[in-house]
Amino acid sequence: MVLTFFFTTSISFAYQATFTPRISVSEEYTDNYNQTHKNKEDEFITRVTPGFTAELPGRNIGADISYDFGYVMHDSYSERNYWTHSARFAGWSNLGRNTRVDLTDSFVYTKDPDIQDDIANIRTTTPDVPIDSTIRRGREAHYSNVTDLKLKHQFGRFGKASSIRLGYIYRFLNNEGETYEDNKGHTYSTGLTYWFSPRWGFDVNADYTRAEFDVSDDRDILSGNVGMLKKFNPKLQGHIRYSQTNVHYNGITAEDDRTYNPSIGFDYTVPDDISLSLDIGYFKNDFEFREGQSGLTGIGKLIKYFRRGYRRGSWKLSALAGYDYSIWGAENLNFEKFYEGAGSVTYMLTRLLNGTLYTSYRHSDYPDVIPERRDKTTSVGIDLAIQPYPWISFELNYDYRNVDSSMTLIWLTVVKRKKASCPTVFQRSLSWIDSKALKEAEPYVTTVDHSDIRGLVTA
């Protein structure tokens, strides 16, 4: 059960300031609390989580800050009760009419095993959100932070479609215990997209990452890609791209891991109707300490919206295949060859009741692990939410997850759980608008940037 109090006061003068305090109470049931194959134990988990969100959405500068801290209580394991923390900052500023800088920072402290549910929704709507495909067993405390700084300048003819990009990411993961390895990393990136005619252009992207670990070899990762772009019409754009990744290990390994990946693909978008992107290629990986790897790469994403009267909904599909370097999650497993499929359907069943059904499957091979490891992960879930009044809503969630890992040489069912929630919301808004300041503020010109469709598959 979740109980949420929501109060908002908005003051605007060339920007709108909003402060939203909240509190939630949730009850969760799991039939495999310790995430084991045998001797499974069920458990009820209660969470009490107060928090707030503060927003300053200006015309040329703005920021969002949110923080939630909660107390997690167990029915049978009271000695494992703990505090959890989650904080996020997102700020941006228009340095000029066509130049923008964005800064985000996310921090999480928890003992939960970090399991994402609706994979298709994450892949299609927020592809930058990291998904840990490795296995975290047990409930030891761990905390992580990701800081992301981006600078983008748009220029040129043809609707300011050309752009120059600079970026920096700092991340770390610390585990309280010796079961999992701590890591941290710095990533520096740059990119250029240039349209030399209304229909033809190219893009170049490069990034360097310094990854450091407590036990495993530290490594330097240099990756880049170059592509030719073609606009067939306002809705359809195609590309041909070549990507390459070099991983240099510092320590006992002291060798380079190289991956080459040519690809071809397209984007098709009709606003508020359909969004379809597809990239298909072939990769070849060479590494001295094991047999070389090769195979098809692919990134496919589809979002389709539909509406019948008041009934609205969408279905989302994602399919990925290729390679990745699985180093930032609960386990450091190095090179990964994988394929994954996910689907999600959301539909407004009545004017008050909304439902979501989702499923996903992922097959991963880790040739750098001795003996070679293979994971197969399947998940299915359903969410129902009813909102009889603007200030109150109820939710019911169920999800099932099964992991078959050769690490254990047996079938391993990781998580089955049922969770019920009930939120109540109160809201009030007051605003004052400085129309002169709003009129004088310069808007930031945005265009569609397709540089994130890369031959290098990053899960």
Q: Is the pLDDT of residue 372 over 50?
A: yes
DSSP class per residue in 118-164? -HHHHHHH-TTS----S---S---EEEEEEEEEEEEEESHHHH-EEE
Q: Domain total for the chain?
A: 1
Share the mean pLDDT of the chain.
82
pLDDT at 299: 94
pLDDT digits (tens, 9 = 90+) for 324-335: 998 988 888 899
CATH of the domain at 232: 2.40.170
- Type of residue at 114: D
Within-domain flag for 259: yes
Within-domain flag for 161: yes
Q: Is the pLDDT of residue 422 over 50?
A: no
What are the backbone angles phi and psi of residue 286, rounded to the nearest 5°? -120, 130
Helices (H) and strands (E) in the chain, counts: 3, 21
pLDDT at 357: 93
pLDDT at 440: 44
pLDDT at 412: 44
pLDDT-derived band at 114 (thresholds 50, 70, 90) equals low
Q: Please count the residues of the chain.
A: 459
Alpha-carbon distance of 392 to 223, in angstroms, equals 48
**What is the maximum alpha-carbon separation in the chain?**
69
Lowest-pLDDT choice from 83-92, 345-354, 384-393, 404-413: 404-413
- From residue 98, alpha-carbon distances to 18, 155, 159, 195, 441 in Å are 27, 7, 11, 16, 13
Within-domain flag for 451: no
Q: Bridge-partner residues for 56, per DSSP?
A: 63
pLDDT digits (tens, 9 = 90+) for 59-76: 889 999 999 999 999 999
Cβ(358)–Cβ(380) under 8 Å? yes
Residue 157 belongs to domain spanning: 9-440
Within-domain flag for 106: yes
Within-domain flag for 206: yes
H or E stretch covering 72: strand 61-74
Nearest-5° angle of CA 430, CA 434, CA 440? Answer: 145
Alpha-carbon distance of 25 to 420, in angstroms, equals 10
Cβ(277)–Cβ(265) under 8 Å? yes
Question: Model pTM?
Answer: 0.84
Alpha-carbon distance of 363 to 403, in angstroms, equals 10
DSSP class per residue in 20-62? EEEEEEEEEEES-TT--SSS---EEEEEEEEEEEEEEE-SSEE
Within-domain flag for 4: no
Within-domain flag for 194: yes
Alpha-carbon distance of 449 to 174, in angstroms, equals 34
Within-domain flag for 455: no
pLDDT at 137: 75
Nearest-5° angle of CA 236, CA 284, CA 368? Answer: 120
Residues 168-179: what's their mean pLDDT?
90
Name the one residue in this structure whose structure tokens are 């989302």: 316
Lowest-pLDDT choice from 136-150, 195-209, 212-226, 265-279: 136-150
Q: Bridge-partner residues for 257, per DSSP?
A: 247
DSSP H helical ranges for 5-126: 119-125
pLDDT digits (tens, 9 = 90+) for 357-367: 999 999 999 99
